[in-house]
Amino acid sequence: MNRMEVLTACRTELFSAAIADALDSIGYHKQAAMPGLNPLSEGMTIVGYVRTGIYMPIYHDDKDVNVYENEIRLIDDLKPDEVPVLVCDGNLNISPWGELVSTRAQYLGASGCITDGCTRDVTAIQKMGFPVFSAGRNPVDTKYRGKMIWADTPAHLCGVAIASGDLVIADSDGIVFVPAEQIETVVARSLEKVRAESVVRQQLVAGVSLADVFASHGIL
C-alpha cells in the first residue's frame, strides 16, 4: 500500500476510532492524544504525515534569538499531505499557528496543523477552511514568548510519542498517531474492521441482539 493509497483509504473509509482499534489489536495502546485539542470549526478533519516542531518558552527577543528561523524553515519545507505538529508542552501562553503560516501551508498542500499550544487569527483561518486542532485560542505571537528549537525530531504530544513520518488522523472523536513502521498494517486492519462493522450494523438494524452479533463477529 503506497502513500496515496493510505491517504485515500483514510479519507474515504476510515476514522480515528477505527484506527485506534487497529492499533490496540497489535499492542499499541497509547497512540491517541489525550482530550483537549479541538478543531477550530466543527467538522474539520486532518489526515496526513507528521512533521514535528518543538517549542521552548523564551522571555525576550533580539537578533541572536532569531525567534522565527526554525519555524519558517519547517513551514517552507512542507510537502503535500504533511501536517506540522507543533509541540509546546501545553504552554498556552503562545500561539505558534496563525493566518499567514496557514496561507503558506495551504498553498504547499499541507493537510492541516495540530498543536498543544494556541491558535490566533481564528476567523481568517476558518474562512480559509484550513484544518487546525489546538489547545485554545490566544491573540499573542510567539515573539518574546516562545521559539521552535527543533524540527523533525522525536517528540511527545498529549501523551503520545510521535515522529516525523508518522500517520495522523484527527476528527470529531480525537487525534490518533500511527508509527511510520506500522502504517500499512494498521490501515489494512482498520479497513477489515470497518467493512465487517457494516455487516454488523445491518444485523443490528434488523433486530439481532447485541449479544448474538458479538458472539458471531466479535465486534463491538
Indicate the SS3 state at residue 113: strand
Q: Which residue has the higher pLDDT, 155 or 209?
A: 155
> Whole-angstrom Cα distance, residue 63 to residue 173?
42
> Whole-angstrom Cα distance, residue 100 to residue 111?
15
Domain boundaries of the chain, sorted by first residue? 30-174
The answer on pLDDT for 210 being more than 80 is no
> Whole-angstrom Cα distance, residue 77 to residue 176?
24
pTM of the model: 0.91
**Residue 200 confidence (pLDDT):** 66
What's the pLDDT tens digit per position in 32-67? 999 999 999 999 999 999 999 999 999 999 889 999
> Whole-angstrom Cα distance, residue 199 to residue 50?
33
> Whole-angstrom Cα distance, residue 180 to residue 82?
13
Which pLDDT band, with edges at 50, 70 and 90, does 219 fall under? low
Indicate the SS3 state at residue 196: helix
Furthest-apart CA atoms within the chain: distance in Å: 69
Mean pLDDT over each residue of the chain, to the nearest integer: 94
Which pLDDT band, with edges at 50, 70 and 90, does 205 fall under? confident
The answer on pLDDT for 105 being more than 80 is yes
What's the pLDDT tens digit per position in 132-189? 999 999 999 999 999 999 999 999 999 999 999 999 999 999 999 999 999 999 999 9
Q: Which CATH number fits domain 30-174: 3.40.50.2000, 3.40.50.2300, 3.40.640.10, 3.50.30.40?
A: 3.50.30.40
